[in-house]
Amino acid sequence: MTHRNRLLNGASVVALLAGLSFYTHTAGATTIGFDDLTDAGFGTPITNGYEGLNWTNWSVLNTAAFTSFFGPSGATPGTGSPPNVAFNPTGGEAIFSESSPFTLNSADLTAFWRDNLQVTVTGLLNGVVEHTIMLALSAMAATLETFNWTDINEVDFVGSGGTHHSGYSGSGTQVALDNLTITTGVISNPEPSAWRLSVRVSPGSALHTAVAARPFKADCRKFLYGRQPLRG
């Protein structure tokens, strides 16, 4: 092997080892505004698979059309990105979930009919509660709630309490949801067994000195020096 090839292979080993310890890729966050769905103003159920999620007791609502039929509600201030907003039509528990873990970053939340509506938001992983918070929502303005809940695959919303907002014709514990931001597709560090290295470093070489000085695990150094295989 020429001196040049030894240097190239050595550089590759260092890059691969650095990747072993530090490689992480995170998919970009997705903001769901529900504006690519169709509704005539009466509420249309959101079907499973929309934006890769399962939806239970969530409907999409065309806010302007709804308001023309039923008058003012919290849907109007809750619509951060027109024309649509999501809501739980029965006022009961509403859930979105996925089979794989995701991060709940943030969401705009608004009470549909009541002032000071108490809404409990719970994040679960495979049915086990990981996070929970109770929010007091306004019927006059959206609340941008930043969660940053990682490693969950289900989010539950339950509304209760509050007092009827004067001037709104309806009543109930419905919640308006818009600009839901989640992050999916987090890839953690690969396992050492996924790597197949075949380069050995000669004692006394420049790369030998560089590797010895780096804070690698003992297994990596022993593998490079030819004393034992890397355990995987």
Write the pLDDT tens digit of every residue in 46-93: 999 999 999 999 999 999 999 999 999 999 999 999 999 999 999 999
Domain ranges of the chain: 26-187, 191-225
Phi-psi region of 19 (alpha: psi -120 to 50; beta: other; left: phi over 0): alpha
**26-187, CATH topology level:** Jelly Rolls (2.60.120)
Tokens for 41, please give them.
């103003």
pLDDT digits 0-9 by tens, 87-115: 999 999 999 999 999 999 999 999 999 99
Q: Tens of pLDDT along 156-190?
A: 999 999 999 999 999 999 999 999 999 997 544 44
DSSP secondary structure string for all residues of 15-68: HHHHHHHH--EEPPEEEE--TTS---SS-EEPPTTGGG-EEES-EEEEHHHHHH
Q: Are 145 and 109 in contact, with CB atoms under 8 Å apart?
A: yes
CA 30: distance to chain centroid?
A: 8
According to DSSP, the β-strands at 54-56 and 94-111 are: antiparallel
